[in-house]
Amino acid sequence: MNVYDTANKLAGEIKQSEEYMNYKMAKQALNLNYSLKERLAKFEKLRYEEQLEMMQTGKKNEERYKELQKEYEELIEDEEARRYFDAETKFNILIADVNKIIGDTIKDVME
């Protein structure tokens, strides 16, 4: 089996994973709830802006950070939003773990 076959097999297994399927279902459910989808989009935009600023300046914007915390606390009171965040987190952990395994395997040539 060559590397491309293995990568395609891994891609298929990821798509069959519980983490992927739960995340996909949570996103589909979210698409049916327009107001929640809009609130999450606003939250994601704020989160992205905060992450970008942190990377660029090394400091967090306290006002934006507090706004993010408040918005997150309000969002997770909604069962559907909580399910979405939970599924997103578990899927991101899966992908990060796979990336770490690959990265650890090739780190000797990447240094």
pTM: 0.85
Q: Residues with Cβ < 8 Å from 84, sequence gap 6 or more?
A: 26, 27, 29, 30, 40
Q: pLDDT tens-digit profile of 9-33? A: 999 999 999 999 999 999 999 999 9
CA 22 to chain CA mean position, Å: 13
What are the extents of the domains in the chain? 3-106
* 60 has a pLDDT exceeding 90: no
Q: Which CATH class is domain 3-106?
A: mainly alpha
DSSP helix/strand/coil, 61: coil
Average pLDDT, the chain: 94
Q: How far apart are alpha carbons 106 and 53 in whole angstroms?
A: 30
